[in-house]
Amino acid sequence: MDIEHIKKSIRNVPDFPKKGIQFKDITPLLQDPELFSEVINIFYERYKEKNIDAVVGIESRGFIFGAPLALNLNCAFVLARKKGKLPPVTVSAEYELEYGIDSLEIHQDAIRSGDNVLIIDDLLATGGTAVAVVELVNKLKGVIVETAFCIELSFLEARKIKGLKNVFSIIEFE
């Protein structure tokens, strides 16, 4: 496992999507089947003995990591999507954006009470979407095993956000 090689595959795009943002682009990682497979394998090795019942992927890049991981773990894959993208019946949770509020939804029957749940996304920045998905899983009485990310921007200190605990990330940018 070569974490440094994975980290070097993440492209930094300055001033995207707006001035002052240093966007972490995962597409070079995804275009390298060996590296992409290695990332999925890191997650798999971490969770294969955790009795995961469902992997919740956060829209949209969380789907990229969550779907193959759920297949490898032989468990359900659950979509956490923006409001209005899933047919009813859903539960929703709001989170703050820089200039407003948005919300995420999952199907009401996607997680059963007591299910062991892994939440996954590509990047942990400020943590708003992750906290919203934690709220959704809690509403459905799932048990959150961990919240996992390929990349964490640790300088933003999202781990300190209320309700966001049991965080794992493969790569950190300080």
174: nearest Cα among 148, 156, 149, 150: 156
pLDDT of 1 > 70? The answer is no
Nearest to 139 by CA among 164, 110, 118: 110
- In angstroms, the Cα distances linking 70 to 19, 53, 124 are 36, 9, 20
Region 40-61 average pLDDT: 97
Higher pLDDT, 118 or 102: 118
Is position 4 annotated as part of the catalytic site? no
Mean pLDDT of the chain: 94
- pLDDT for 18 beyond 70: yes
Question: One of 38, 61, 105, 152 is an active-site residue; which one?
Answer: 61
Q: How many CA atoms lie within 13 A of 71 on its CB side?
A: 7
Q: What CATH class has 50-173?
A: alpha beta
For the chain, the domains span 50-173
pLDDT at 91 over 90: yes
What would the mean pLDDT of 21-25 be, rounded to a whole number?
92
Quick one: tokens of 72? 């490898």
Q: Does 40 score more than 70 pLDDT?
A: yes
Query: Would residue 61 show up in a list of annotated catalytic residues for this protein?
Result: yes
The per-residue pLDDT for 23 is 92
pTM here is: 0.95
pLDDT band (50, 70, 90) for residue 96: confident
User: Catalytic: which of 4, 34, 49, 98?
Assistant: 98
Contact 79, 106 (CB under 8 A): yes
Backbone angles phi, psi at 97, to 5 degrees: -105, 175
